[in-house]
Chain A
């Protein structure tokens, strides 16, 4: 398998504040790669650096072997990178139908209507609101709309920024299933950024753990799930040590 996306020593700043402190990671074609981390770990900043909304001070982002850092986000999108931003960011006063069609703005082929149908088969709930302004949708439906809109680009790589944010456990599960299905059926490679570690590890093939702008762990999701640190800090399981000592007393972070 080849690397679809490769980050090498990325450093990104918010003014004087260094948000990403030298991150390297790779996403292989066909994979679902999950990135875990607490608030302020730099997960969203990393996605913004990939899609071009922020420019890295140092380092390279390669997509299909081509350097794409510090380009405009619309240019990056046209390469086939669909971005589902944090907080959904739909077009509130356009209809659901128009929102989805805008997702295909850069496409000129005649299969847009076919893909529209495809989105509605994945998200039948949206079908009830086709001609309604998108701001009337519930949070979960807006999330589906945002994913559907990114799907209309026919992306090879999809960047998902906290799709579980503010959703009920049932909806989180539904979104997780859809991500898996998109990966299997539409062959979309997924880079999933999540705070909901359980979902991210269930869905993902490979996982990275970020803390304060650095990658502190990387492994297959299967193995990450069994790592004691992850179980304790991200999945909330308590250590069942012989002496019953809680590990957080030893070390809380890798800072």
Chain B
């Protein structure tokens, strides 16, 4: 019973890691930049949701949709104002920029919404089902279902829509995408919007389980580990890596001495780098023959 209970909370926590990892991977695949502010974008998304749902008292669904809209615009603005001027600069400069961006976002969030933890008023919070001795919280179910739904949407988007295929094209061969007339810069903006939206969804989904405060974005580091475990550059890998990190973390918390749960994600990362450095879903990256 205990094992199943841990598995459930591990999976739901892992879904959140997976969603943030997805944001990392999306941006990396398309633009070859690593956005270390991904976790903080999740935090901003959660606070925006708090603003709409708690403070303005909008119905949950409307608040969620409004949050998605706001975060999409936020992602586009970030790309336009901060990242686009960095095209052609060394990777290290971009990396420092996104780390700095994380600091700024945390400070700004603290200034606007305060540093006390908040709880998002989701309609399903507190609901609990008991199935044969196992306690399943509705918030956990919501995370898993929400993640599944989002992954399904993303799959359909990348597989069947013109824009989704163009995003893949731009990430596979940027120059060729330019040559066939794909507006690559606009595509990059949209990729940032997409990953900001995914981050916001992760924030809203995790909000009822963990408290919202300006420092919640630090789970982004664990999600980064998850992305690497999954093989940085693979979307299913990001989700799977997230699940793995989430589950391992829960079990480490119970069976290992205190403190191991916190570092388990990085231990997993180290083991993965030693055993299978390319990650679970290594994508073929060789171009040309």
Q: Which residues of A contact B (CB under 8 A)?
A: 51-53, 72-74, 77-78, 82-83, 85, 87, 89-94, 98, 101-103, 105-106, 135, 139, 149-150, 152-153
Contacts of A77 in B (CB 8 A): 178-181
Give complex CA distance A74, B168 in Å. Answer: 16
Type the 1/0 row for B184-217, where 1 means its CB is closer than 8 Å to any CB of A.
1100000000000000000000000000000000
Give complex CA distance A102, B179 in Å. Answer: 10
CB < 8 Å neighbour of A74 from B165, B183, B287: B183
Instruction: Check if B168 sits within 8 Å of A51, measured CB to CB.
Output: no
CB < 8 Å neighbour of A105 from B175, B182, B289: B182
Instruction: Check if A105 sits within 8 Å of B181, measured CB to CB.
Output: yes
Q: Which residues of B contact A (CB under 8 A)?
A: 162, 165-166, 168-169, 172-173, 175-185, 284, 287-289
Contacts of A82 in B (CB 8 A): 179
Instruction: Check if B179 sits within 8 Å of A73, measured CB to CB.
Output: yes
CB < 8 Å neighbour of B176 from A91, A93, A139: A91
Given known contacts A72-B185, A74-B184, A53 and B169 CB-to-CB distance under 8 angstroms: no
CB < 8 Å neighbour of B181 from A85, A92, A93, A106: A106
Query: How far in angstroms is the closest Cβ of chain A from B98?
Result: 25
Instruction: Check if A53 sits within 8 Å of B287, measured CB to CB.
Output: no
CB < 8 Å neighbour of A85 from B165, B179, B284: B179
- Which of A53, A101, A102, A153 has the most chain B CB within a 10 Å cutoff? A102
Query: How far in angstroms is the closest Cβ of chain B from A193?
Result: 14
Contacts of A101 in B (CB 8 A): 162, 165
CB < 8 Å neighbour of B173 from A91, A105, A106: A91
Instruction: Check if A94 sits within 8 Å of B172, measured CB to CB.
Output: yes
Given known contacts A85-B176, A85-B179, A102 and B184 CB-to-CB distance under 8 angstroms: no
Instruction: Check if A102 sits within 8 Å of B166, measured CB to CB.
Output: yes
Contacts of B176 in A (CB 8 A): 85, 89-91
Given known contacts A91-B172, A94-B168, A98-B165, A103 and B180 CB-to-CB distance under 8 angstroms: yes
Instruction: Check if A139 sits within 8 Å of B169, measured CB to CB.
Output: no
Instruction: Check if A93 sits within 8 Å of B172, measured CB to CB.
Output: yes
Instruction: Check if A94 sits within 8 Å of B165, measured CB to CB.
Output: yes
